[in-house]
């Protein structure tokens, strides 16, 4: 009977298996380290790229901030210019309204029987004060104004009798005073612009009766 010793063969196989396991383990570790190194390099590259992008974005943001400030300044200046333009436009409209109103009113003034003392334009209201020979003259003037296209309404604020003294002259009664009617009217005209309504235009007119007017007063006109 032949006996075969298999112990060396088993030992060799066992060693081979251990060597194989160690080799696989080492290769796995090397592969893992390589993967980690590659991932680290990749992440570092990504971080560097993101930092560059961040720096570019910050630079662009600063540029945009400057542009935004410039736009805000230009917008403010544009609003100021627009406000001034609206003011000028409103004043122009009010001046046009004042001229048109005066031009229309002058055409209906009773000649040599009425004198204006003050004209004030506030928005769409024209305040007029003056002196007339009598009540009939004032009533006739108001009636004529109501027929004007530029006039919307005419209201009588006040009326009173005054004595106008002329030194060195006497009327039919021997007195130096002439009885006249002082009046104040409020005339609603075409409304002015929004900006023009904030500005008051005042215009004073000299009012001195002529010698012919005094003569008419003496005759009872």
Per-residue model confidence (pLDDT) at position 167:
61
Stretch 29-55: mean pLDDT, rounded? 89
pLDDT above 60 (res 218): no
Residue 5 in this model has a pLDDT that exceeds 60:
no
Report which listed range, 67-76, 93-102, 201-210, is most confident: 67-76
pLDDT per position as a tens digit, 57-82: 888 888 888 988 999 999 988 988 88
More confident residue, 211 or 130: 130
> Is a pLDDT exceeding 60 seen at residue 178?
yes
In what order do the strands lie in the sheet containing 200-204?
151-165, 177-189, 125-132, 114-122, 200-204
For residue 18, what pLDDT band results from cuts at 50, 70 and 90?
confident
Cα gap 159→130, rounded to integer Å: 10
Tell me the C-alpha distance between 167 and 169, whole Å.
6
CA distance 163 to 17: 141
pLDDT at 117 over 60: yes
In the predicted structure, residue 199 carries a pLDDT above the cut 60: no
Domains with residue ranges and CATH for the chain? 8-221 (3.30.1360.100)
The DSSP code for 190 is: S
- What residues contact 197, with CB distance under 8 A and at least 6 apart? 90, 122, 123, 124, 191
């Amino acid at each position: 009977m032949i006996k075969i010793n298999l112990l060396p063969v088993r030992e060799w196989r066992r060693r081979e298996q251990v060597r194989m396991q160690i080799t696989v383990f080492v290769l796995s570790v090397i592969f893992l380290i390589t993967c980690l190194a590659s991932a680290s390099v990749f992440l570092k590259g990504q971080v560097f790229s993101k930092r560059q992008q961040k720096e570019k974005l910050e630079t662009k943001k600063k540029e945009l901030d400057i542009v935004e400030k410039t736009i805000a300044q230009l917008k403010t200046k544009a609003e100021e210019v627009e406000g001034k333009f609206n003011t000028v436009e409103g004043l122009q409209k009010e001046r046009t309204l004042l001229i048109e109103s005066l031009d229309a009113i002058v055409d209906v003034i009773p000649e040599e029987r009425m004198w204006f003392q003050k004209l004030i334009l506030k928005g769409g209201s024209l305040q007029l004060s003056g002196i007339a020979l009598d009540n009939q003259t004032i009533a006739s003037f108001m009636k004529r104004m109501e027929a004007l296209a530029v006039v919307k309404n005419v209201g009588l604020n006040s009326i009173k009798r005054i004595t106008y003294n002329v030194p060195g002259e006497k009327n039919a009664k021997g007195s130096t005073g002439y009885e006249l009617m002082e009046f104040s009217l409020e005339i609603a005209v075409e409304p002015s612009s929004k900006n023009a309504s904030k500005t008051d235009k005042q215009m004073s007119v000299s009012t001195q009766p002529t010698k012919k007017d005094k003569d008419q007063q003496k005759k009872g006109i």
